[in-house]
Chains A and B, each alone.
Chain A
Amino acid sequence: MLGTSQLTGYAASQTLSNNLASPDSFADIADQDARSAAIFTELGKVLTHPRCMNCHPAGDRPRQGEGAWRRLHQPPVARGADGHGLEAMRCSICHGYANFEPGRMPGHPEWHLAPREMGWEGKTLAEICEQLRDPARNGGRKGEDLIHHIGEDTLVGWAWHPGFGRSPVPGTQQQAGALVAAWVKTGAACPAK
């Protein structure tokens, strides 16, 4: 019998990197925990994408860019007391209500960093999974709140429409929400690594 990590790796590898597999794709995995973990691994393509990770940093400074160009945010901004930047440089000073393509500037009315306890940077998918299950480290969210946050929150949704020169996260927000819902429904099991 295949172990959980092997199963999740198999399921995740069946999709192109810019697509997301549907929850139904995992129906053949009989063991519910293994199926749940496999679904989360698929969701991991979204969670670990630079569009998400850059504003879920381990420290107080977000990152920007991707691949070889991924770096600490310039100009040097920091989290601040409320996650919306320091008093002298609030996120909203540059980041407007929407992307501003002529300036290559991403935007959303609520542009801000994820809380410090929700930092994902440098963590394995298993660690991120455990974190997402822990209300103390997921913004006090229950399962249905996570489904809404990833599947419907418009700031999260920006990651699928990031604007000039930025690669969007795989799939669609609706597909990601469906994966979260399936993961929660199957017991919110975590991959082994």
Chain B
Amino acid sequence: MTRLAITINGRAIEPLEVRDDLSMNDFLREYLGMTGTKFGCGAAQCLSCAIIVDNPDGTSYASPTCVVPAASFDGKAIRTIEGHAKNGELTALQKAFIDHFAFQCGYCTAGFLNEAQVLLERLAKKPVARAALEETIAEALDGQICRCTGYIKYHQAVRDVILADPQRYLA
């Protein structure tokens, strides 16, 4: 057992005893009832279960939750799909997803959104040239699988957000 202390979407969760064989996905969905994080393949292959992990240095990365023990997140700060909108106001990325109808069944959307958010935060710290943008987006979203094959719309949505604020994201 591990006493898990974790911050989720800016809120410190009361430390909980969790089994060492409990996956992070089960912890979010079954212990906390945060079902925005999906369970897809169960093998870190589709990344529909991806969440955002915030590093102490201000950088972030996306992590699958289905194959990773909850205990490994002890002391960490994470964000889930439930943490994007603030006070009911969607982020620019969420709005772009809606504008582009960048989902169909919606099952993979949370993972795409989190991975794309990580990309935006990375580009804000390390902008890329416009010429490298397409490759950068493709590479960042390379691991996400959408069984409805909505890739083009996802990519368009992310591209639009970046191009709408070139001072921030482009070198």
Contacts and interface: CB of A to CB of B under 8 A. Distances in A.
B67 A100 contact: yes
A95 to B, nearest CB: 9
B116 to A, nearest CB: 11
A22 to B, nearest CB: 37
A88 B122 contact: yes
Interface string A5-40: 000000000000000000000000000000000000
B44 A94 contact: yes
Contact of A88 (B43, B44, B69, B140): B140
Given A88-B122, A94-B67, A75 B142 contact: yes
A104 B122 contact: no
B45 A100 contact: no
Given A75-B46, A100-B69, 9 more contacts: A76-B142, A87-B122, A88-B61, A94-B64, A94-B67, A102-B21, A103-B42, A104-B67, A105-B68
> Residue among A74, A75, A90, A104 with the most chain B CB within 10 A?
A75
Chain A's interface size range is 10 to 19
> Residue among A86, A100, A103 with the most chain B CB within 10 A?
A103
A96 interface: yes
Interface of B: 21-23, 42-47, 61-64, 66-69, 72, 115, 118-119, 122, 139-140, 142-143, 145
B67 A101 contact: no
Contacts of A103: 23, 42-44, 66-69
Contact of B44 (A75, A86, A101): A75
B61 A93 contact: yes
Contacts of B42: 103
Contacts of A74: 45
Contact of B68 (A75, A76, A77, A96): A96
A104 B41 CA distance: 12
A138 B166 CA distance: 45
Leading 10 A-B pairs by shortest Cβ distance = A103-B67, A75-B143, A105-B67, A74-B45, A102-B21, A93-B63, A94-B44, A88-B140, A96-B72, A100-B69
